[in-house]
């Protein structure tokens, strides 16, 4: 077993190698929309997972996934040439869902901000039904004790 720091260094090196090699190995126009976002290597340095995003339509995403699956062996060969390890890790390509999830969270936050603004607009110019602060505070207890209540 390798330590976690070595696995992390190897993962970063694999990410760079794969990102550079994709354009050499796969000569398709749709690859121009591909970005390698991250790579993870298991602690035994046998398997690497490469995360990627594709900007474009769902058809472009499917085509890129197919091209990566078809050319995994050629990309692994490039990785093997450029790392100094006894064994070349197997490569698995996974579409990165972080940008999609981030957009969903941003949309939810925007809707919440709009609703907060609507509530603030309704509350403007309104008065409290009772006191502005209906809670009893510690300094009031001291006054009640001083007055004998």
Tens digit of each residue's pLDDT (9 = 90 or more) over 107-122: 999 999 999 999 988 8
Tens digit of each residue's pLDDT (9 = 90 or more) over 42-92: 988 899 999 998 888 888 889 889 989 999 999 999 999 888 888 889 999
- Whole-prediction pTM: 0.67
Cβ partners under 8 Å of residue 88, min gap 6: 76, 77, 79, 80
């Amino acid at each position: 077993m390798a330590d976690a720091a070595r696995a992390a260094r190897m993962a970063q090196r694999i990410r760079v190698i794969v990102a550079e090699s994709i354009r050499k190995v796969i000569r398709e126009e749709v690859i121009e929309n591909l970005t390698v976002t991250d790579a993870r290597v298991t602690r035994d340095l046998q398997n690497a997972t490469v995360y990627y995003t594709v900007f474009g339509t769902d058809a472009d995403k499917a085509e890129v996934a197919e091209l990566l699956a078809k050319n995994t062996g050629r990309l692994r060969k490039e990785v093997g040439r450029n790392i100094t390890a006894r064994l070349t890790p197997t490569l698995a390509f996974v579409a990165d869902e972080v940008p999609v999830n981030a957009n969903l969270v941003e949309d939810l936050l925007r809707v919440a901000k709009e609703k907060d603004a609507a509530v603030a607009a309704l509350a403007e110019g309104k008065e409290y039904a009772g006191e502005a602060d209906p809670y009893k505070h510690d300094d009031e207890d001291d006054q009640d004790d001083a007055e004998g209540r």
